[in-house]
Amino acid sequence: MASPTGPAMRLIVMGQQAFGKDALAKILDAGVDEVMAVYCAPDKEGRPVDPLKEFALEQGLPVVQPANFKDEAVLEEMRSHNADLMVMAFVTLFVPEAARDVPRMGSICFHPSLLPLHRGPSAVNWPIIFGSTKSGFSWFYPTDGLDEGDVLMQWECDIGPDDTVIDLYFKKIYPVAIESVLEVCDLFRSGNPPHIVQDESKATYEYRCKKSDAEIDWAKPAADVYNLIRGTNPAPGAWTTAAGQEVQIFDSCPQAGDGTPGEVISVSGDGILVQAEGGRVLVKRVRPQGGDKQAAGDWARTAGIEPGTRLGN
């Protein structure tokens, strides 16, 4: 990244979890801009302290956790920071226009897809599930519409044929996105940050990927089954049933072969080979209901899974 041009900015950092923490750390380490306050989601009873909140307090920064950003007292406190920009790093709360527009230059928000594709809360899962070969991330100007604002900048990467959510997000998108936080700030510092209008004709929206979306239908093409498994690994976790009991499936690989969908073809030290439509899936790692993750072959032997067993409803 080139050296910053222009004056230092006063920032509000809003976010949560590891991404919010690492984005804040990147800004602080650069030592260019001043973080006036950190905004986090309210604490949840019985949950660990959010990593962003914990890190911000360690750094001696003011931490604010409003329950409602429409509250005039909350807005007045935001105004008191006299911020130039609000960096929204992994934000799941709705932040209305009145709050977004408090900083002099407004707010900028991170989203882990190439907008307008994959608007919504599970933007890393769905491209893998759909068999896409490209993804990336966007920094955009948030509006009241979900992920609908103009785009500031984007970064694109390949989705490998065997990539899981961990591969795509944590190994590819995440590290580059954290590095991009400084570029985002410098684009605003330059005084003329880009505004790229999203092409609504190409927009897609997918709701949160839930357990009900992750049930395997072995009658579907083997490629679709394989994409579902890797697109829900590690969460929410693809699953099927064996003898009436649910079992989650994580690591797998596709293979050729014909047969009856859902039928176990073989059990070995490599795993359980299961027939789908037009191909097979070698299941390598599972988590049985109420149990821990384990090698699929080990589970099969204890659960009585053998060639000819039918999986699924």
Q: What is the per-residue pLDDT for 105? A: 97
pTM of the entire predicted model? 0.94
DSSP 160-195: -TT--HIIIIIIIIHHHHHHHHHHHHHHHHTT----
User: How many Å apart are CA 96 and CA 122, to the nearest integer?
Assistant: 21
How far is Cα 199 from Cα 138, in angstroms, rounded to an integer?
14
* Ranges of residues in the chain whose predicted pLDDT is under 50: 1-3
Reported as a single tens digit per residue, the pLDDT across 132-179 is 999 999 999 999 999 999 999 999 999 999 999 999 999 999 999 999
Three-state secondary structure call for residue 150: coil
CATH 1.10.10.10 for domain 211-303, yes or no, is no
Distance CA 168, CA 209 (A): 16
In terms of CATH, what superfamily is 10-202?
A: Formyl transferase, N-terminal domain (3.40.50.170)
Percentages (nearest 5) of helix, strand, coil residues in the chain: 30, 25, 45
CA distance 18 to 251: 25
For the chain, give every domain's residue range: 10-202, 211-303
